Protein backbone atom coordinates (compact mmCIF):
# COMPACT_ATOMS: atom_id res chain seq x y z
CA UNK A 1 0.00 0.00 0.00
CA UNK A 2 2.86 2.39 0.80
CA UNK A 3 4.40 1.75 -2.61
CA UNK A 4 1.14 2.70 -4.32
CA UNK A 5 0.98 5.93 -2.33
CA UNK A 6 4.61 6.71 -3.09
CA UNK A 7 4.07 6.13 -6.81
CA UNK A 8 1.00 8.33 -6.75
CA UNK A 9 2.94 11.13 -5.08
CA UNK A 10 5.79 10.82 -7.56
CA UNK A 11 3.35 10.92 -10.48
CA UNK A 12 2.11 14.38 -9.54
CA UNK A 13 3.62 16.84 -11.97
CA UNK A 14 5.77 19.58 -10.47
CA UNK A 15 3.97 21.97 -12.84
CA UNK A 16 0.65 21.11 -11.23
CA UNK A 17 2.08 22.19 -7.89
CA UNK A 18 3.72 25.35 -9.22
CA UNK A 19 2.29 28.68 -8.16
CA UNK A 20 1.19 31.00 -10.96
CA UNK A 21 3.37 34.11 -10.96
CA UNK A 22 2.10 37.22 -12.73
CA UNK A 23 4.32 40.16 -11.88
CA UNK A 24 7.08 41.43 -9.66
CA UNK A 25 6.17 45.04 -10.39
CA UNK A 26 5.50 47.43 -7.53
CA UNK A 27 1.81 47.61 -6.62
CA UNK A 28 1.81 51.30 -7.55
CA UNK A 29 2.04 50.13 -11.18
CA UNK A 30 -0.96 47.78 -10.91
CA UNK A 31 -4.30 48.65 -12.45
CA UNK A 32 -6.98 49.71 -10.01
CA UNK A 33 -8.85 46.50 -9.02
CA UNK A 34 -12.31 48.09 -9.21
CA UNK A 35 -11.65 49.62 -12.62
CA UNK A 36 -10.17 46.32 -13.82
CA UNK A 37 -13.26 44.39 -12.72
CA UNK A 38 -15.56 46.92 -14.41
CA UNK A 39 -13.62 46.47 -17.67
CA UNK A 40 -14.08 42.69 -17.44
CA UNK A 41 -17.78 43.09 -16.75
CA UNK A 42 -18.12 45.33 -19.81
CA UNK A 43 -16.59 42.44 -21.83
CA UNK A 44 -19.39 40.16 -20.61
CA UNK A 45 -17.76 38.49 -17.63
CA UNK A 46 -19.82 37.81 -14.52
CA UNK A 47 -17.50 37.82 -11.52
CA UNK A 48 -18.40 35.67 -8.54
CA UNK A 49 -15.08 36.11 -6.74
CA UNK A 50 -12.11 38.43 -7.31
CA UNK A 51 -8.84 38.18 -5.40
CA UNK A 52 -5.13 38.94 -5.47
CA UNK A 53 -3.10 35.72 -5.37
CA UNK A 54 0.17 35.00 -3.58
CA UNK A 55 1.78 35.09 -7.03
CA UNK A 56 0.71 38.72 -7.56
CA UNK A 57 -2.12 37.97 -9.98
CA UNK A 58 -5.66 39.25 -10.22
CA UNK A 59 -7.76 36.08 -10.18
CA UNK A 60 -11.44 35.80 -11.00
CA UNK A 61 -13.94 33.02 -10.60
CA UNK A 62 -17.17 33.39 -12.51
CA UNK A 63 -18.61 33.09 -16.01
CA UNK A 64 -17.59 34.38 -19.43
CA UNK A 65 -19.92 36.01 -21.99
CA UNK A 66 -20.97 32.52 -23.18
CA UNK A 67 -21.97 31.55 -19.61
CA UNK A 68 -19.08 29.09 -19.27
CA UNK A 69 -17.61 28.76 -15.80
CA UNK A 70 -14.10 30.25 -15.71
CA UNK A 71 -11.11 30.69 -13.44
CA UNK A 72 -8.68 33.24 -14.90
CA UNK A 73 -5.40 34.73 -13.70
CA UNK A 74 -4.46 38.17 -15.01
CA UNK A 75 -1.27 40.20 -14.87
CA UNK A 76 -2.40 43.21 -12.80
CA UNK A 77 -0.06 45.58 -14.66
CA UNK A 78 -0.77 44.67 -18.30
CA UNK A 79 -4.20 43.10 -17.78
CA UNK A 80 -3.24 40.14 -19.97
CA UNK A 81 -4.48 36.63 -19.21
CA UNK A 82 -1.74 34.50 -17.67
CA UNK A 83 -3.75 31.32 -17.13
CA UNK A 84 -7.35 30.36 -17.92
CA UNK A 85 -9.48 27.34 -17.03
CA UNK A 86 -12.91 26.94 -18.58
CA UNK A 87 -15.47 24.34 -17.49
Residues 32 and 36: their CA atoms lie apart, in Å, by: 6
- Mean pLDDT, the chain, rounded, equals 87
| 81 Cβ contact partners less than 8 Å away, ≥ 6 residues apart | 72, 73, 74
Give Cβ neighbours of residue 17 (< 8 Å, ≥ 6 apart): none
Select from 3.10.450, 2.30.30, 2.30.29, 1.10.3470 the CATH code of 18-86. 3.10.450
pTM assigned to the model: 0.78
pLDDT band at 8 (very low <50, low <70, confident <90, very high): low
Q: Which residue ranges make up each domain of the chain?
A: 18-86
The whole-number average pLDDT for the span 38-58 is 98
Mean pLDDT of 1-8: 52
Distance CA 14, CA 77 (A): 27
> What φ, ψ does residue 41 adopt, rounded to 5°?
-60, -35
What is the H or E stretch that residue 46 is in? strand 46-52
Amino acid sequence: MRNVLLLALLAVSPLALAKTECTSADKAQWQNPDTFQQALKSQGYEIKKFKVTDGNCYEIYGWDKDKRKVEIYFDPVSGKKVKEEID
